[in-house]
Amino acid sequence: MTQFGYVMTAMATPFDREGRLDERRAAELARRLANGGSESLVVAGTTGESPTLSDQEKIALFRLVKEAVGDRAKVIAGTGTYDTAHSIHLTKEAARAGADGILLVNPYYNRPSQDGLYAHFRAVAESTALPVILYNIPGRTGVNCLPETVARLAEVDNIVGIKEATGSLDQASEVRKRTPRDFLIYSGDDSLTLPMLAVGGTGVVSVASHLAGEEIGKMIRAFHAGDISTALALHLRLWPLFKVLFITTNPVPLKAALRLAGFDAGAPRLPLVEATPKEQEQIRAVLGELALLPVAV
């Protein structure tokens, strides 16, 4: 077991009917996740719609989620931005709010070089005593933090791992080869969790764990215990869920799925819009197959 566990949930951010942060529902969702197999909660990440959250909303989320889950789950604060100084500011605020760790996404839009990525991540890490997890998602940020850069960053004392969301097992393998064994590698894609474990991964930063956290945890634990057949069976059972939650931009399908499953987290904020009727039917069909819909009474 690692300091953050095997199942880290990229938590959705609930909004009310007017599109405002719904703090009551956020605390309720955090408790629901902690009770449902999530060992850590990533707050204000991609799934949490970080681009449309204000600093005040992010800081409020860090605080209220930590208060809601206490010691039952770690709270990992998404504080990375395309501005190093701003990222340092948010990181310090997250520490004051009680966060247990920091998730730092690649600086997006300005597309720094590998030396720029190294300097950015190191500067933010050195501004805090909290453990830092890198978040490499080139499809969102326009820049790939290459394995050799990750290896350099792994030498910084409090940079302890990476959320690897390139979709490339080759890159994950290279990261594993170049980093110490205690450097944590989390899959950034639910559908690649099991293959990622096979090349030295630790666990997953999951979206599907909103709905199947305990089963995902069983899959990962079975793999680490050497029970590959059980891990594979769980992976194949959950595969339709992993895929349907990404039929359009995350977290649009997730918010539709949560509503169908009986937990309304509100609509996504513009420029994201709700799932289409066709997409909702696809999601409903998968939830029905997995018995994740509310039982009619």
Q: Which residues are catalytic?
A: 135, 163
3-class secondary-structure state, position 75: strand
Please work out, in degrees rounded to the nearest 5, the angle formed at the alpha carbon of residue 94 by the alpha carbons of 90 and 97: 140
CA distance 70 to 253: 29
* Cβ(245)–Cβ(289) below 8 Å: no
Place of tokens 């930063």: 205
* Cβ(87)–Cβ(79) below 8 Å: yes
- Give the side-chain half-sphere CA count within 13 A for 14: 18
Q: Report residue 219 as tokens.
A: 């899959």
State CA 19 to chain mean position distance.
22
